[in-house]
């Protein structure tokens, strides 16, 4: 088994492990965001969560396979590490970007859901019942803090 | 809140133009514009006069919560889907006094603004 094959094997194993780890992290910790975003509809949240993780796997594994081929020949033990470091560094950066993008999507979904459910941000100055009862209207309502 | 009634001044060009603009926006809570000068409205809701609708815009929810001036405007923005973020921002203590000052200035000078901008009061909208 030559150094090239060792590099490729290590690259595939490590990339796969890291991808699985990130995807599982997203799957476990993203769920609560999605449940909030879908207003407590857990079935829908789980479904979207699963679909997102499938997409995450496809994009990352696709990238890992496309990026497999080494341009230079690797012949020594030192070369294995150098080539592997270069490849893994890029894969990790890609995973990191995807991860942050996912977080951005999750937080956006949650913010929008919160906005949809937000009550009016100011208190009413009076109520119809009070006006009908002839109560005097406050001249200048105090500002809320 | 299911509906927000907005009592506006239909004799003011700026107010009518604003009503037309707001009517075209996407409403998370439907806005119903009612002219406070409408005799029919005055007959159905005589207590409206107690709220001095000529001084400041009045908004009322279907449950009877009454908002006026800056709080009416913030609630109207809250009812508009794309401006809810602005409503939440303007309601903060940092922005609220500015919102109030601007709303009061415009309300006080609305006829002058209408003249300057050549806006003529026109019936229309939903009220």
With respect to residue B71, please indicate whether it lies within any of the assigned structural domains: yes
Do the beta carbons of residue B59 and residue B68 sit within 8 Å?
yes
Q: Does residue B19 register a pLDDT over 90?
A: yes
Q: What is the mean pLDDT of residues A138-142?
A: 53
Do the beta carbons of residue B29 and residue B1 sit within 8 Å?
yes
Mutation target vs A (from B44, B86, B91; most A CBs, 10 A cutoff): B91
Do residue A122 and residue B91 have CB atoms under 8 angstroms apart?
Answer: yes
Q: What is the mean pLDDT of residues A67-81?
A: 88
Q: What is the mean pLDDT of residues A70-80?
A: 87
When CB atoms are compared, the residue of B64, B78, B87 closest to A127 is B64
Do residue A137 and residue B50 have CB atoms under 8 angstroms apart?
Answer: yes
With respect to residue A24, please indicate whether it lies within any of the assigned structural domains: yes
The CA R_g of chain B, rounded to the nearest whole Å, is 14
The CA R_g of chain A, rounded to the nearest whole Å, is 27
pLDDT in tens, B54-93: 888 999 999 989 999 999 999 999 999 999 999 999 999 9
With respect to residue B37, please indicate whether it lies within any of the assigned structural domains: yes
Question: Among A14, A17, A1, which Cα is nearest to A81's?
Answer: A14
Chain B contacts to A (CB-CB under 8 A): 1, 28, 47, 50-52, 60-61, 64-68, 70-71, 74-75, 78, 84-85, 87-88, 90-91, 93, 96-97, 100
When CB atoms are compared, the residue of A118, A131, A143 closest to B47 is A131
pLDDT-derived band at B125, boundaries 50, 70, 90: very low
* A142 has a chain B CB within 8 A of its CB: no
d(CA A119, CA A98): 34
When CB atoms are compared, the residue of A121, A141, A144 closest to B88 is A121
d(CA B40, CA A13): 78
Q: Does residue A5 register a pLDDT over 80?
A: yes
- Of all helices (H) and strands (E), which one includes residue B7? strand B4-8
d(CA B35, CA A7): 78
State which residues form the domain around A83.
Answer: 3-132
- Considering only residues A25 and A139, tell me which one the structure prediction assigns the higher pLDDT: A25
DSSP state of B61: E
* A124 has a chain B CB within 8 A of its CB: yes
Report the pLDDT value the prediction gives residue B43, as an integer from 0 to 100. 87
Read off φ and ψ for residue A18, nearest 5 degrees: -65, -40
Tokens for A50, please give them.
């699963």
With respect to residue B125, please indicate whether it lies within any of the assigned structural domains: no
Report the pLDDT value the prediction gives residue A99, as an integer from 0 to 100. 86
What are all long-range contacts of B25-28, with beta carbons under 8 Å and residues at least 24 apart? B25/B80, B25/B81, B25/B82, B25/B83, B26/B80, B26/B81, B26/B82, B27/B79, B27/B80, B27/B81, B28/A116, B28/B78, B28/B79, B28/B80, B28/B81, B28/B84
Structurally, chain B folds into a number of domains equal to 1
Q: What percent of chain A stands above pLDDT 70?
A: 91
Do the beta carbons of residue B121 and residue B14 sit within 8 Å?
no
pLDDT-derived band at B9, boundaries 50, 70, 90: very high
Q: Does residue A135 register a pLDDT over 60?
A: no
d(CA A10, CA A16): 10
Report the pLDDT value the prediction gives residue A140, as an integer from 0 to 100. 52
Do residue B85 and residue A116 have CB atoms under 8 angstroms apart?
Answer: no
pLDDT-derived band at B46, boundaries 50, 70, 90: confident
Three-state DSSP at B31 gives strand
d(CA A52, CA A27): 8
With respect to residue A93, please indicate whether it lies within any of the assigned structural domains: yes
Report the pLDDT value the prediction gives residue B107, as an integer from 0 to 100. 92
State which residues form the domain around B101.
Answer: 4-116
Report the pLDDT value the prediction gives residue A143, as an integer from 0 to 100. 58
Q: For chain B, how are helix, strand and coil distributed in percent, rounded to 5? A: 50, 15, 35
Q: A103: buried, middle or exposed (CB in 10 Å: 19+, 13-18, 0-12)?
A: middle
pLDDT in tens, B91-119: 999 999 999 999 999 999 999 999 888 88
Report the pLDDT value the prediction gives residue B54, as an integer from 0 to 100. 87
Read off φ and ψ for residue A6, nearest 5 degrees: -60, -45
pLDDT in tens, A87-128: 999 999 988 998 898 889 888 888 888 888 889 999 998 888
Q: Does residue B126 register a pLDDT over 50?
A: no
d(CA B97, CA A143): 8
């Amino acid at each position: 088994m030559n150094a090239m094959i060792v590099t490729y094997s290590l690259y595939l194993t490590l990339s796969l492990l890291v991808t699985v780890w990130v995807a599982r992290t997203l799957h476990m910790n993203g769920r609560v965001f999605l449940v909030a975003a879908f207003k407590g509809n857990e079935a829908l949240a789980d479904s979207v969560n699963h679909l997102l993780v499938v997409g995450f796997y496809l994009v990352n594994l696709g990238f890992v396979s496309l990026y497999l081929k080494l341009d230079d020949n690797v012949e020594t033990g030192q070369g294995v590490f150098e080539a592997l470091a270069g490849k893994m560094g890029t894969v990790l950066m890609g995973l990191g970007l995807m991860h942050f993008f996912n977080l951005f999507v999750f937080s956006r979904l949650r913010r929008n859901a919160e906005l949809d459910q937000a009550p009016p941000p100011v208190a009413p100055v009076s109520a119809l019942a009070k006006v009908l009862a002839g109560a005097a209207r406050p001249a200048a309502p105090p500002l809320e803090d | 809140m299911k509906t927000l009634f907005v009592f506006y001044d239909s004799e003011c060009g700026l107010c009518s133009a604003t009503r037309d603009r707001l009517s075209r926006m996407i409403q998370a809570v439907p806005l119903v514009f009612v002219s406070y000068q409408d005799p029919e409205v005055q007959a159905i809701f005589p207590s409206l006069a107690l709220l001095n609708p000529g001084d400041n815009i009045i908004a009322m929810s279907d449950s009877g919560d009454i908002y006026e001036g800056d709080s009416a405007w913030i609630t109207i923005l809250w009812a508009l889907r794309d401006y809810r973020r602005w409503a939440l921002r303007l309601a903060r203590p940092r922005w609220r006094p500015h919102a109030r000052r601007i709303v009061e200035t415009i309300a006080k000078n609305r006829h002058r603004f209408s003249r300057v901008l050549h806006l003529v009061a026109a019936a229309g909208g939903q009220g």
